[in-house]
Structure 1
Amino acid sequence: MAISNEKVSIIVPIYNAEKYLEECIESVTKQTYKDLQIILVNDGSKDKSWELCKKLKNSDSRIVIATQSNAGVSVARNKGLDLADGKWIMFVDPDDVLSKTIVEDLLTQVSAEIDIVACGCYGFDGSYRKKDSFFKGNRIFKANKDDLYLQLMDASHGQGNDFVTAIGVPWGKIYRHNFIKKYNLRFDPKLRRMQDNIFNMYAFYYAREIFYLDKPLYFYRLDHITDYNKRHQKDMLKIFKPVVDARTTAISTLGLNKDPQIYKFYLQETAGFFFGIVNSLILTNKRFEKEVKQLKNNTNFNILFKNQNIKKIKDKKMRYKLFLFDHNLIRLYSIMYKILGKN
């Protein structure tokens, strides 16, 4: 397959990224593939990120900059899509680094039917580096994309438990721009988490073909990763209920809920979110029993307790916990959780 002689628009959403921004953009500008549009979208940063964006623009004519009031990464990426004029789209996070050949290597895999090309990555922190292959060996996904959907809902699928991240990330990929336009693919601003994962569920479904290159070409910085759940313990309901709603809408709209295996993974993921929210309510809300009952009766969570769905959950411990809720033993669960802790 020949290298595509077409412009690639690289979108970088930026929020308080002054520490690593110049290193990131240097790895973009020094690509072996030169026909690039580099779009820097400042999302209301409070540090010197915007000043750096203006400085970087003056250093390379391929750089386009835009700024907005803080509205979140989804709005920033969508703004980048509006500004893009390349034939291909790539997303890069501002604290990460690209290998010099990532654009060239991904474009080398392009054919007439391929709408997405993805690659593996390294997770890194200082001198520490860990390779992450989302799948073993190069693969092309056409009619059967089940492994993609399953890894979106269970990061360990296809790569075991010793992983850095999963295929749902927006980076480390190129997307055909006309394909994104055709299906009006956008990032959902209502989602504070997993907006990229939901975006890719639709993208993977609509893509004619997807090529996975088992080569670590993207460097994903790990030092910013902290215990998100602890920091946002009081907000778990607001953060993750919309994710469940978005996932439910996606698999229903795309008809993926008709596949028994995909549906089981969906139930398992939903159960995980259910207990993440329940546990946060137990620890932060004195009226947790009322809140938990309301959560259980919510349409997209109540499905766990219908049609023998508890039996479809692959995790035995989770099935037992759901059994307690199915029999309204909420207080018993809360006592056990406080005594035994997580899981």
Structure 2
Amino acid sequence: MEDYKVSVIVAAYNIQDYIVKCLESIANQTYKNLEVIVVDDGSSDNTGKLADEFAKNDNRFIVIHKANGGVSSARNRGIDVASGDFIGFVDGDDTIENDMYEMLVNNAIKYKADISHCGYKVIENNKETFFYNTKQIIIQDRKKGLLDLFEGTLIEPSLCNKIFRKNIVGNIRLDESIKINEDLYFNVLLFNKSNISIFEDNTKYNYIKRYNSASNSNKNNIKRITDPRKIYKLIIEIFKDDVDILPYAQRMDLGRNINIYNLLILERDNVFLQLKNEVRDYIKLNYKNIKDNKLINKKIKYMMFGILYLPHIYTLIYKFYFNKKYMN
């Protein structure tokens, strides 16, 4: 069963306290036919040096040093040189269970799947939260895979708990201009090409939550609003002529824009006020396209109505709700 090589791409930036543990978890996989491409994305600490030292003792490991360009840039560099039958991703400050790739490859072969993925758990202050560890196996055709991604309640839109057949990745690369939700968009592009994907809800990927990590940084607050909105628009554009997928994409787009509007209610900076008005105008502009969408439930419709026609009352109600739920 180890006839299939998995290229594991590890993006690493200034994580000297975590990188060795991450690489050890990959090296100790029960599935041995791996090519591990560690991309040191211009680290200013000892991350690159530690990766080099680790690679000296395991010829499956390759280390690439490049100027800092962000996680998408690092992953794209890894994809460019990957030679495996499958491509997977691990963030350099996370770890994986020792049988993750064995399970993912076995499932991909058994079900003739283009994408094989699994559950994960979040580790924060030594506390483990499972998502979701139900042990169920779900076979997804193209439509179901996409809809599960849009729904986001079971299938995680990360890249790191998945392997992709190299032939469906092809020339697709991550958009390096997008810093937030870039995983979701890349997944949508690949699931859209996938005939079959297989999901086994065993929690094999360990996401280590760090408050000083790039994903938890407050430096790009504006991009945390603008990037997701850009992604949702791109997704709508992809499926604008697909009558099976478009209503689900529209529901996701509306729901996420309402969530963004709610977040912006709590901001006081004038820049965020302008963004809030832009989001409201976008919802209004698209109202005709979504008002007859039978997938949009009453709660969302009421929220949309409040945002469009009773914005001041809606703002007061949401602030009251937020303070009662999170500030007490």
TM-score with structure 2 setting the length:
0.84
Distance 2:298 2:15 in 1: 39
Query: Structure 2 vs 1, CA of residues 153 and 224 (structure 1 numbering), >3 Å: closer, same or farther?
Result: farther
**Most deviating of 206-215 and 79-88:** 206-215
Q: 1:180 aligns with which of 169, 172, 182?
A: 169
Q: CA deviation at 1:152?
A: 2.4
Q: Secondary structure at the match of 1:140?
A: strand
> Quick check: 1:142 aligned with 2:141?
yes
Map of 2:121 onto structure 1:
122
CA–CA separation in structure 1 for the residues paired with 2:260 and 2:228: 7
2:23 is matched with which residue? Answer: 25
Query: Residues 25 and 214 of structure 1: is their aligned pair in 2 closer, same or farther, counting only changes over 3 Å?
Result: same
Matches within 5 A, 1:321-332: 321-327=303-309, 329-332=310-313
Amino acid at match of 2:286: I
Matched, 1:168 2:153: no
Match for 1:285 among 263, 266, 270? 270
Partner of 1:248 in structure 2?
A: 236
Contact 1:125/1:222, CA 8 A, preserved across alignment? yes
Give the Cα–Cα distance (whole angstroms) in 2 for the partners of residues 12 and 154 of structure 1: 27
Task: State whether residues 153 and 266 of structure 1, in contact with CA within 8 Å, keep that contact through their aligned partners in structure 2.
Answer: no
Instruction: Work out the CA distance in 2 between the residues paired with 1:16 and 1:192.
Output: 17
Q: Matched residues in 2 for 1:284 and 1:295: separation?
A: 16
Distance 2:222 2:187 in 1: 28
> For residues 13 and 301 of structure 1, do their structure 2 counterparts lie closer, same or farther at Cα, with a shift above 3 Å needed?
farther
Alpha carbons of 1:188 and 1:101: their partners in 2 closer, same or farther (altered >3 Å)? same
2: CA distance, partners of 1:284 / 1:24: 39
Q: Which residue of 2 aligns with 1:308?
A: 291
SS across alignment from 2:101: helix
Distance 1:229 1:89, change over 3 A: closer
Counterpart AA for 1:279: I
SS where residue 130 of structure 2 aligns?
strand
Q: Using the aligned pairs only, state the percent identity.
A: 25
The residue type paired with residue 227 of structure 2 is I
Return the letter of the residue paired with 2:234: A
Who is 2:301 aligned against?
Answer: 319
User: Partners of 1:259 and 1:286 in 2: how far apart?
Assistant: 31
Superposition map of 1:56-135 within 5 A: 56-111=54-109, 113-125=112-124, 127-133=126-132
Q: CA deviation at 1:179?
A: 2.1
Match of 1:15 among 6, 13, 16: 13
CA distance in structure 2 between the partners assigned to 1:301 and 1:239 by the alignment: 20
Residue 36 of structure 1, CA deviation: 1.4
Contact 2:179 2:223 in 1 (8 A): no
Instruction: Point out where structure 1 has 5 or more consecutive residues left out of the alignment.
Output: 160-165
Match of 2:149 in 1: 152
Aligned to 1:198: 185
Evaluate the alpha carbon distance shift between residue 229 and residue 279 of structure 1 in structure 2; reply closer, same or farther with a 3 A threshold.
farther
Call closer, same or farther: CA 1:234–1:60 in 2, change over 3 Å: same
Q: Deviations over 1:199-242 (max 9, x none)?
A: 11121121121111232222221344889596654554433332
Change (3 A) 1:295 1:220: closer
Structure 1 residue 58: Cα displacement = 1.7
Compute the displacement of 1:77 (Å): 0.5
CA, structure 1 residues 252+35, in 2 after alignment: closer, same or farther (shift >3 Å)?
same
Spell out, residue by residue over 1:307-329, the C-alpha distance to the aligned partner (whole angstroms, 9 max, x if none): 5269864262x5344223323x5
Letter matched to residue 285 of structure 1: N
One-letter identity of the residue aligned with 2:305: F
Structure 1 SS opposite 2:87: strand
- TM-score, normalised via structure 1 length: 0.81
CA distance in 2, matches of 1:335, 1:310: 28
CA distance in structure 2 between the partners assigned to 1:35 and 1:312 by the alignment: 44
**Partner AA of 1:239 in structure 2:** D
Partner of 2:255: 268
- Kept in 2, the 8 Å contact 1:264–1:312? The answer is yes
How many angstroms apart in 2 are the aligned matches of 1:272 and 1:225? 24
* Partner SS state of residue 114, structure 1: coil
Gap change, CA 1:315 and 1:59, over 3 Å in 2: farther
Q: Which string of whole-angstrom CA distances, capped at 9 and with x for unpartnered residues, describes residues 78-133 of structure 1? A: 10000111111111111111222222222212338321111112322354223323
Among residues 197, 203, 211, which one is paired with 2:198 in the alignment? 211
1:189 and 2:176 are equivalent in the alignment:
yes
